């Protein structure tokens, strides 16, 4: 018999594709005295009963839903873990109303964001860039968002686009706001009004 928490863990594994043990402990066992011990116990039970899978090819081990078909050492694992890190970051900042991983908006070739999120009553598409794109690749990515914006697939206003990367790109003008930052926290900090320094003579 699956508990309510078991079902919540499985739902998160299906939502985020892949999760590490410490993230599961943070999201589902933070209220316990020994969250890591409790997490280990529950994950081993769910694994034994076939409700989840585990990859030991990645350190630390990662867990994913029973129906997900990926290579145990897939490069996508680290990408999904980066998306999970963004979720945890946004959650700590508060007012996170929605967080969808890799939502689809129509035919192939349409922009495929890593995340659609509603944060502080504002919609965002988020690109989590672990690798550096060429300027051409990034232009092509932005062009797909422009095409999506001009289509009738989404209601207006079109979400802001936030690119999280250690590299800052030269971007073309778009009919929606585009932001760049190394982390979501840095992005939020950049929005705060800076104090005005008044020179005293």
Q: Tokens in use for 128?
A: 């989590």
Predicted confidence band of residue 128 (pLDDT cuts 50, 70, 90): very high
Query: How far is Cα 185 from Cα 93, in angstroms, rounded to an integer?
Result: 8
Reply yes or no on whether the pLDDT at 105 is more than 90.
Answer: no
Q: What does the alpha-carbon distance between residue 126 and residue 159 come to, in Å, rounded to a whole number?
A: 10
**Taking a C-beta distance cutoff of 8 angstroms, is the pair 153, 105 a contact?**
yes
Angle between helices 4-16 and 35-48 (to 10 degrees): 80
Per-residue pLDDT at 157 exceeds 80: yes
pTM of the model: 0.91
Mean pLDDT of 73-90: 94
Q: At what angle do helices 35-48 and 21-28 cross, to 10 degrees?
A: 110
Would you say residue 172 has pLDDT above 90?
no
**pLDDT for res 60:** 86
Q: What DSSP element (H or E) covers 25? A: helix 21-28
Q: Residue range 76-99: average pLDDT?
A: 95
Query: Beta 52-55 vs 122-128: how paired, if at all?
Result: unpaired
- Overall average pLDDT of the 17-23 stretch: 96
DSSP 47-79: HHTTSEEEESSSSS-EEEETT----TT-THHHH
Domains of the chain (ranges, CATH numbers): 4-73 (1.10.10), 78-191 (3.40.1350)
Does pLDDT of 39 surpass 90? Answer: yes
Confidence of residue 193 (pLDDT cuts 50, 70, 90): confident
Instruction: Please report the pLDDT score of residue 200 as a whole number.
Output: 66
pLDDT at 58: 85
Question: Rounded to an integer, what distance in angstroms lies between the CA atom of residue 143 and that of residue 138?
Answer: 9
Model pLDDT, residue 73: 78
């Amino acid at each position: 018999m699956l508990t309510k928490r078991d079902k919540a863990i499985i739902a998160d594994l299906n939502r985020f594709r892949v999760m590490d043990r410490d993230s599961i402990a943070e999201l589902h066992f933070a209220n316990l005295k020994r969250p890591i011990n409790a997490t280990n116990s529950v994950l081993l039970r769910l694994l034994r009963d076939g409700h989840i899978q585990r990859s030991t090819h990645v350190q630390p081990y990662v867990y994913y839903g029973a129906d997900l078909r990926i290579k145990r050492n897939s490069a996508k694992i680290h990408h999904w873990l980066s998306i999970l890190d963004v979720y945890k970051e946004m959650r700590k900042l508060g007012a996170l109303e929605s967080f969808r991983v890799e939502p689809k908006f129509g035919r192939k070739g349409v922009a495929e964001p890593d995340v659609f999120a509603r944060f502080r009553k504002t919609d965002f598409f988020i690109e989590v860039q672990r690798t550096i794109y060429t300027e051409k690749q990034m232009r092509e990515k932005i062009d797909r968002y422009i095409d999506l914006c001009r289509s009738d697939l989404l209601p207006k206003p079109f979400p802001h686009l936030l690119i999280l990367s250690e590299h800052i790109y030269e971007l073309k003008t778009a009919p929606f706001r585009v932001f760049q930052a190394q982390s979501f926290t840095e992005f939020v900090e950049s929005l705060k009004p800076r104090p005005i320094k008044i020179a005293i003579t």
